[in-house]
């Protein structure tokens, strides 16, 4: 819901404010479409699958925060280990 509110506030320009005041029916239809689109589970799942495919094609890994932490610790250990031997 937060995204809808952020999207709505960025959407409010002079024309939209005019629609709110003078053409309320059009404004309600537009906002209803926006909410339906944002809250549509099928659409959200479809979009998430598309992003996941795009990320995999680009070589990204989808990881939990725990795995991200473990991966960073491992990379830092590999980077810092040669320097520890010099000391």
Q: According to the model, what pLDDT value does residue 66 have?
A: 95
| Confidence bin at 41 (pLDDT 50/70/90) | confident
- Cα distances from 76 to residues 9, 16, 81, 82, 83, in angstroms, run 42, 51, 8, 11, 11
Q: Mean pLDDT, to the nearest integer, of 23-41?
A: 82
Q: According to the model, what pLDDT value does residue 3 have?
A: 62
| Residue with the larger pLDDT of the pair 38 and 45 | 45
Q: According to the model, what pLDDT value does residue 6 have?
A: 65
pLDDT tens figures, 46-77: 888 998 889 889 988 788 999 999 999 999 99
Torsion of CA 49, 52, 53, 54, to 10 degrees: 120
Residues 6+ apart with CB under 8 A from 53: none
| Residue with the larger pLDDT of the pair 74 and 38 | 74
CA–CA dist 14, 29 (Å, integer): 18
CA–CA dist 47, 51 (Å, integer): 6
């Amino acid at each position: 819901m937060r995204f809808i509110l952020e999207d709505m506030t960025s959407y409010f320009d002079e024309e939209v404010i005019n629609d709110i005041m003078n053409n309320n029916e059009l404004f309600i239809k537009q906002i209803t479409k926006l909410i339906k689109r944002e809250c549509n589970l099928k659409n959200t799942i479809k979009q998430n699958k598309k992003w996941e495919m795009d990320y995999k094609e680009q070589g990204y890994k989808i990881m939990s925060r725990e795995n991200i932490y473990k991966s960073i610790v491992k990379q830092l250990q590999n980077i810092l280990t040669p320097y520890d031997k010099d000391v």
